[in-house]
Amino acid sequence: MVKTYLVDSVCEIFREAGFSTLFLDKSCFDIITKRGNLLLFVKVANELDNFRRYHAAELKKIAFFFKAIPLLVVGAAEEDVIYRRYGVVAVNLNTLRKILQGMPIFVMSERGGYYVKISQENLRRIRVQKNYSLGDLADLLGVSRKAVYEYERSRCKVFLEVARRLYDLFGWNIIEPINVFEEASKYKLDEDEKFEVRKEVRVACKRFEGLGFKILLTRYAPFDFLARYKSCKFLAEVNKEVEIEKLSLLNCVSKILRSYAVVITRKGSDAGYSMKRVSIVQESLLKEFENAEDFIKVVGSKDI
């Protein structure tokens, strides 16, 4: 399946579900999409194996920075199954559509096979009602008595075949649907990897840190770094000259993320290149700000 078609299809699915959607290219994420307080950074790939570890690592860090959810949508994957790739939840197109329509998804693919969540409370209650001992149920399921004991005392996932036997015995009350967005929010950040950073970007980051900002350097994103002070966030790009296309892109990205954007240049502001949500700051002027609050008061005064 051609990736352009996939990206267009994913955008359309989100729009049909009432999301604001922005498409980007050549980044660790292809789509930013938002509905209410739900914000997602979405990567699109033809197959799970096309998703690279380094893209996953940066995707998760950017999502964490914005308190968002990373998601992978793939063309070649089974329907009604939730996958994980490098810690990022993945689904195919039709599964994504069903999720956004509120339809339940029950199966997750993890190392070792397919799994289903079960309700420990309902399992124990119905087992007792039917006068099954732990050993009786273990024999019927083809598992150990200890396994049934664990099913009833912890929120766990069971192999798909075991879940089918439980369904045949006790019905749907035993099976729990997967809260996909909750599952997708359970990701771990990878350790930072060193990579080469342009000198002018290093200098700008050091000055932002000196003002009191927390910094996240990026390598596969449409900005050079992210800066945060309390609840105020900046997308930052460092360029020798102002590029109208980059300003337009940052303006669109900052709008959907409800953040500020700043382009740091040698020449500074140019009235002919003004954008509503983007400030242009001359590199040498960064030294004149006393702290992050001073910077925000001057540069972050734009309406977002």
What does the alpha-carbon distance between residue 155 and residue 197 come to, in Å, rounded to a whole number? 44
Domain boundary among 50, 73, 102: 102
- How many other C-beta atoms lie within 10 A of the C-beta of residue 246? 18
Domain containing residue 143:
113-176
Count of the separate structural domains present in the chain = 3
Q: Judge if 97 and 145 occupy the same domain.
A: no
**What integer pLDDT is reported at residue 272 of this predicted model?**
47
Q: Judge if 90 and 132 occupy the same domain.
A: no
Residue 233 Cα distances to 79, 93, 285, angstroms: 37, 32, 20
Domain of residue 294, CATH code: 3.40.91.50
194 occurs within a structural domain: no
Q: Judge if 94 and 164 occupy the same domain.
A: no
Residue of 78, 166, 161, 170 lying closest to 115 (CA atoms)? 161
Domain of residue 50, CATH code: 3.40.1350.10
Q: Judge if 242 and 274 occupy the same domain.
A: yes
Q: Judge if 117 and 98 occupy the same domain.
A: no
Q: Judge if 168 and 249 occupy the same domain.
A: no
What does the alpha-carbon distance between residue 56 and residue 116 come to, in Å, rounded to a whole number? 25
Instruction: Give me the tens of pLDDT residue by residue for the chain, a chain 304 residues long.
Output: 578 889 999 999 999 999 999 999 879 999 999 999 999 999 999 999 999 999 999 999 999 999 999 999 999 899 999 999 999 999 999 999 999 999 999 999 988 899 999 998 899 999 999 999 999 999 999 999 999 998 988 767 899 999 999 999 998 889 999 999 999 999 999 888 888 899 999 999 999 999 999 999 999 999 999 999 999 999 999 988 788 888 899 999 999 999 999 999 886 555 445 577 888 888 888 888 999 999 998 886 654 4
Residue 145 near residue 168 (C-beta atoms within 8 A): no
Inter-axis angle of helices 160-170 and 120-129, nearest 10 = 40
Main-chain phi, psi angles of 89, to 5 degrees: -65, 140
Q: Judge if 45 and 135 occupy the same domain.
A: no
108 occurs within a structural domain: no
60 occurs within a structural domain: yes
Q: Judge if 92 and 27 occupy the same domain.
A: yes
Domain boundary among 102, 128, 152: 102
Q: Judge if 213 and 273 occupy the same domain.
A: yes
Domain of residue 154, CATH code: 1.10.260.40
189 occurs within a structural domain: no
What does the alpha-carbon distance between residue 246 and residue 275 come to, in Å, rounded to a whole number? 11
191 occurs within a structural domain: no
Q: Judge if 211 and 251 occupy the same domain.
A: yes
Q: Judge if 262 and 284 occupy the same domain.
A: yes
193 occurs within a structural domain: no
Cβ within 8 Å of residue 183, ≥6 positions away:
82, 89, 108
Main-chain phi, psi angles of 128, to 5 degrees: -65, -40
Residue 27 near residue 250 (C-beta atoms within 8 A): no
**The two structure tokens encoding residue 125:** 């209650």
Q: Judge if 280 and 257 occupy the same domain.
A: yes
**The two structure tokens encoding residue 275:** 């954008």
Domain boundary among 79, 102, 125: 102
What does the alpha-carbon distance between residue 251 and residue 259 come to, in Å, rounded to a whole number? 10
119 occurs within a structural domain: yes
**What integer pLDDT is reported at residue 271 of this predicted model?**
45
**The two structure tokens encoding residue 136:** 């009786």
12 occurs within a structural domain: yes
